[in-house]
Structure 1
Amino acid sequence: MSSLFAFLHHIAAFVLISALAIELVLLRETLSLTIARKLRAADMVYGIAAGVVLVVGLIRVFYLEKGPSYYFSNVPFMIKLTLFIMIALLSIYPTREFLSWRRFLGKGRAPVMSAGTVQRLKMIVHLELFAAATLILCAVLMARGVGSV
């Protein structure tokens, strides 16, 4: 059971990173109806993957692996958890922006975004990807027993 949940956790994490990378690539394109729909879909996949990562990760921490006392006393794990929360908070702005397009997309029109909004979205997705890469480094350190008290 532990191996299955580890597998699910890793697959969801890979999907999450992939969805963010897709968002970044799509944000470099001219915003059209098709691109807007793809951005919303990528963001939805990202949200679902983040939920799976969180739920499966918590199940692993509390029921399948070394137990919460080990993890919550491990410095890389605490940094990893903090980064996950930071990524979640950063994702609020892009998700709200993409959800605000519903009216446009329902009418078959591309939404309109200012250059400043596009730049903010790109910057946020870059920050999310950087934080995710740092999170992965913390996962490796944690797996190697670094930072255990």
Structure 2
Amino acid sequence: MTTAAVMAFLHHVAAFTLVGALMAELALFGAALDLRQARRVQRVDAAYGMSAGVLLVAGLLRVLYFEKGASYYFHNAFFLAKAALFLLVALLSLYPTLLFLSWNKQLKAGGLPRLEEAQVRRVRAVMLVELAGVVGIVFCASLMARGSGMIE
């Protein structure tokens, strides 16, 4: 097995894990959280963040050292769009993550986080926009993989 294949494997596993974690967050997060569910949301969000980190590192290594080389990718509009969407999704994910991290003291004391219905709607809306961004990333990746979007 070559290093390039291992990098591709890590990249794909991280991408699938990221999507799964985001879907799990959407399913778990709501106004009526119990202690167990709130902790589960935090753990799933941590998995989401870790998978994003692995995805970024594996992706950068693939661009710089494997596959077609950085020159190819940086001259592809769909790769650039994919990178921009990844950055956007990463920035958007900070809002839910910071909220979930703010629960630490309450959860350690056995208390539940107080969530306003409007806050729940905002966080869920951000997660849905993140999901739309991930769909855009997958679309750009499929176009890029077929050689579309080359900038001369």
Under TM normalisation by the shorter chain, which class is it? over 0.9
Aligned length: 149
| Partner residue in 2 for 1:136 | 138
What letter is aligned with 1:145?
G
**% of aligned pairs identical?**
46
CA shift for structure 1 position 127: 0.4
Counterpart amino acid of residue 141 in structure 2: A
Mapped partners of 2:37, 2:112: distance in 1: 8
TM normalised by structure 2 equals 0.96
CA distance in 2, matches of 1:98, 1:4: 33
Q: Residue 29 of structure 1 contacts residue 35 of structure 1 at CA under 8 Å; is this kept in 2?
A: no
Q: What is the root-mean-square deviation in Å for CA atoms of aligned residues?
A: 0.9
CA distance in 2, matches of 1:41, 1:144: 36
1:92 alignment partner AA: L
Aligned equivalent of 1:8 = 10
Report how far residue 29 of structure 1 moved. Answer: 6.3
Counterpart Cα distance in 2 of 1:54 and 1:62: 12
Structure 1 length as normaliser, TM-score? Answer: 0.97
Matched residue SS, 2:47? helix
Q: Are 1:77 and 2:50 matched, yes or no?
A: no
Deviation of 1:28 (Å): 3.9
8 Å CA contact retained: 1:33, 1:105: yes
Which deviations, in whole Å up to 9, do the C-alpha atoms of 1:38-93 show, x marking residues without a partner?
11001000000000000000000000111111101101000000000000000011
Q: For 1:33 and 1:111, locate their aligned partners in 2 and report how far apart those are by CA, in whole Å.
A: 9
Distance (whole Å) between structure 1 residues aligned to residue 72 and residue 41 of structure 2: 39
**Alpha-carbon contact 1:2-1:65 (below 8 Å) kept:** yes
Q: 2:33 aligns to what? A: 31
Q: What is the CA-CA distance between 1:121 and the residue it aligns to?
A: 0.7
Quote the residue 1:101 is aligned against.
103
AA matched with 2:67: E
Alignment-mate amino acid for residue 106 of structure 1: K
Q: 1:88 aligns with which of 90, 95, 106?
A: 90
